[in-house]
Amino acid sequence: MNAVKIRGLEIAARHGVYDFEKSTPQLFVIDADLYTDFYSAAKYDDLNATVNYSQVCNTLIKIATENTFNLIETLAYSCANALMGGFPLSGLSITVYKPEAPMKVKFSNVGVTVTLERERAFLSIGSSLGDKKGYLDKAVKLLGATQGITVKKISSYIETEPYGGVAENKFLNCAAEISTWLPPLKLLEEIHRIEAECGRERLARWGDRTLDIDIIFYGGKIIREDALSVPHPEYSKRDFVLIPLKEIAPEFVCPLTFKKINKF
């Protein structure tokens, strides 16, 4: 994997939990590995086809000097999010060191590392209450406004019968392809926030709802957590998931079955 590397970027900034740390600049040191495809840059010797590390450094300096955080964890994530959002990266690993941290012990350095990876994910979005189209439209808008999520494709909206024997109303459904650097469980947190903003109440499983968003695929990953299973266990049985997915990603290969979506 190609990487642009930055080592030992020194920045005087004000971050820490103590008042004097917020008023007096201290030394922070940043290392970064920026994963990007620079084959074309190397082939044509073209700076515009790679990540300009001078611009990256300027971005890191701007984030560090124009903000004041209690934690270097917050500083590290702020830097990572700014780089992922501002440069064509497939992923990164960034470490923020605080060599002058005010501790009454002898140490050479302390720091934190943030690692992010951009993934292609697919969501199923549905509504069976109220202004169904309005809720789907709002969901797409809120997804696109969430840091770490870029909406790439939206399928046509289709009307479907309720699934599971609990809901009484017909659903309006669509599928979305997104690019995201949020880890799966953090993506799920943002989805739950968006559902709540649209009035979702979790009263009965498979019941009617203003908005329902499911993660169907997250890249080629297989995830089995208490809170999240990906690929979604029921997706291949649900036409309201498959029909929109076939429209926007017919060639996507399920990491469990190794079948293309258009073969289901």
Would you call 133 a catalytic residue per the annotation?
Answer: no
State in Å, rounded, how far the first CA of the chain is from the last one: 33
By residue count, the chain amounts to 264
E strand or H helix at 247, and its extent? helix 239-248
Q: In whole angstroms, how far apart are CA 68 and each of 12, 24, 25, 93?
A: 12, 11, 10, 22
Q: What is the dihedral of CA 185, 191, 196, 199, to 10 degrees?
A: -150
**Are 87 and 3 in contact, with CB atoms under 8 Å apart?**
no
Q: Tokens at residue 85, please?
A: 């959002």
Q: Which of 22, 62, 98, 186 is catalytic?
A: 98
Contact by Cβ (8 Å): 99, 29: yes
Within a 13 Å sphere around the CA of 190, how many CA atoms are in the beta-carbon half? 20
Q: Return the closest-CA partner of residue 71 out of 10, 133, 39, 114.
A: 114
Q: How far is Cα 199 from Cα 219, in angstroms, rounded to an integer?
A: 29
3-class state of residue 158 by DSSP = strand
> What would the DSSP string read from start to end of 140-160?
HHHHHTSTTEEEEEE---EEE
Give SS3 for 103: coil
Residues catalogued as catalytic? 98
